Amino acid sequence: MTSIDWAKVRADFPILAQQVNGKPLLYLDNAASSQKPRAVISALVNYYERDNANVHRGLHELSSRATDAYEGARVKVAKYLGAASAEEIVFTRGTTEAINLVAQTWGARFVREGDVILLTEMEHHSNLVPWQMLAERTGARLRFVPVAEDGTLALERLGDLLTAEVKMFAFTHISNSLGTINPVAELCRAARAVGAVTLVDAAQSIGHLPVDVREMGCDFLAFSGHKMCAPTGSGALYGRAELLDAMPPWHGGGEMIVTVSYERSTYKKAPARFEAGTPNIAGAVGLGAAVDYIEGIGRATIFEHDLALTRHALARLGELPGVRVQGPRDRRGGLVGFTMDAAHPHDLTTFADQHGLALRGGHHCNMPLMKKLRLPGTTRASFYFYNTKVEVDRMADILAEAVRFFA
């Protein structure tokens, strides 16, 4: 494994070198959104200073440069995901839009009354609400793979739940509140055996560990750029080409048509069919730059680094009285959700902020899961490759002070 100069990597992130409330910023809210390296910020500045124009339509130099940059980013994302071709990548605003796209278009074509959509009890609202809306429209039913005591999926129930009525099995790769890493390839294999289509929510894994759609064997995968060093409003849906081409269009407008008359239109194939109107060109360019940046470090190296910080955080949190960590002990991603007997998550998060420490407190868009766990919410610390062991120790010291403060 190549050795990485992590201090040099950290210096790529200008935002981290600041004081918040009179203390050095300690940013541990990476599961909500990551920070951006200079390479990504410069890609945006360069694009706007040199190449900006609308894509695809223009027969002039800047338009062809913008088109090359936009389509070049699609090729980078396809390679990053191990997709068979760039045509399998639809740019979206992020995970939420990608899942809604599938629920609305694939759902409209393939889901009927009585069909079952299988989810898990640990889904983020963005991999739950779109399916509820589809179920309401079609009369389909929702089923859920339970979350067991230890924060993993109760896989022994899969045989009963994954029946021939299941048309879609949609699940998260990494839980954003428990940190659980789900056995994606195994779940996809089980779904395929009953003819169900799969969608993987990769929001929490895409920038943290190797993600390869063909190794996973999934049909769809959704992710957000902003959690992997790219700009907000960028992200993509991966879909197997034959599925994307069988789906009706979503938004109507320019770019997605072949012919238009006053009465009716014909549509392009994917991905253009799902990208009506002027897209987020700069966002895609920034996403391409983020892919290059992350690949420069290596996703396996990033995962190892995140995991070391998580293990250290688990050890330090274990020393604090009245602090309980949620989720599994092993096979977990770079985030730790916990409760503190003495303080509500919102109060604890506000306390942390006074010390320059950015955590997240609340239900983390997992309201049904929090209800099941009988928790008002949790406080979450989430790590990325620019965080350090010294920062984890500083977090633990601030939390120890909180235990005394709220007692």
Task: Give catalytic residue positions.
Answer: 365
**At its nearest, how many Å lie between ligand PMP and the CB of residue 392?**
21
Find the binder of ligand PMP among 176, 234, 310, 387 (CB under 6 A): 176
**At its nearest, how many Å lie between ligand PMP and the CB of residue 33?**
8
**At its nearest, how many Å lie between ligand PMP and the CB of residue 273?**
21
**Nearest CB to ligand PMP, comparing residues 124 and 355:** 124
When asked if residue 387 is in the footprint of ligand PMP (CB under 6 A), the reply is no
**At its nearest, how many Å lie between ligand PMP and the CB of residue 328?**
16
Find the binder of ligand PMP among 37, 94, 327, 333 (CB under 6 A): 94
Which one of the spans 43-51, 136-144, 197-205, 249-257 is the region binding ligand PMP (CB under 6 A)?
Answer: 197-205
Find the binder of ligand PMP among 30, 224, 378, 387 (CB under 6 A): 224
**Nearest CB to ligand PMP, comparing residues 67 and 180:** 180
Which one of the spans 109-117, 131-139, 199-207, 285-293 is the region binding ligand PMP (CB under 6 A)?
Answer: 199-207
Find the binder of ligand PMP among 67, 96, 310, 378 (CB under 6 A): 96
**Nearest CB to ligand PMP, comparing residues 94 and 249:** 94
Size of the site for ligand PMP (CB under 6 A): 13
**Nearest CB to ligand PMP, comparing residues 203 and 352:** 203
Find the binder of ligand PMP among 172, 198, 234, 379 (CB under 6 A): 172
Which one of the spans 41-49, 88-96, 247-255, 390-398 is the region binding ligand PMP (CB under 6 A)?
Answer: 88-96
When asked if residue 92 is in the footprint of ligand PMP (CB under 6 A), the reply is no
- For the purposes of burial, counting CB atoms within 10 Å of the CB of 1, is it exposed (0-12), middle (13-18) or buried (19 or more)? exposed
**Nearest CB to ligand PMP, comparing residues 35 and 172:** 172
Classify 219 in phi/psi space as left (phi over 0), alpha (psi -120 to 50) or beta.
Answer: alpha
Three-state SS string over the chain comes to CCCCCHHHHHCCCHHHCCEECCEECEECECCCCCCCCHHHHHHHHHHHHHHCCCCCCCCCHHHHHHHHHHHHHHHHHHHHHCCCCHHHEEECCCHHHHHHHHHHHHHHHHCCCCCEEEEECCCCHHHCHHHHHHHHHHCCEEEEECECCCCCECHHHHHHHCCCCEEEEEEECECCCCCEECCHHHHHHHHHHCCCEEEEECCCCCCCCCCCHHHHCCCEEEEEHHHHCCCCCCEEEEECHHHHHHCCCCCCCCCCEEEECCCCEEECCCCHHHCCCCCCHHHHHHHHHHHHHHHHHCHHHHHHHHHHHHHHHHHHHHCCCCEEECCCCCCECCEEEEEECCECHHHHHHHHHHCCEECEEECCCCHHHHHHCCCCCEEEEECCCCCCHHHHHHHHHHHHHHHHHHC
When asked if residue 204 is in the footprint of ligand PMP (CB under 6 A), the reply is yes
When asked if residue 339 is in the footprint of ligand PMP (CB under 6 A), the reply is no
Report the DSSP pairing between strands 235-239 and 197-201. unpaired
**At its nearest, how many Å lie between ligand PMP and the CB of residue 16?**
21
**At its nearest, how many Å lie between ligand PMP and the CB of residue 127?**
6
> According to CB under 6 A, which residues from 353 to 382 bind ligand PMP?
365
Residues that bind ligand PMP (CB under 6 A): 94-96, 124, 126-127, 172, 176, 201, 203-204, 224, 365
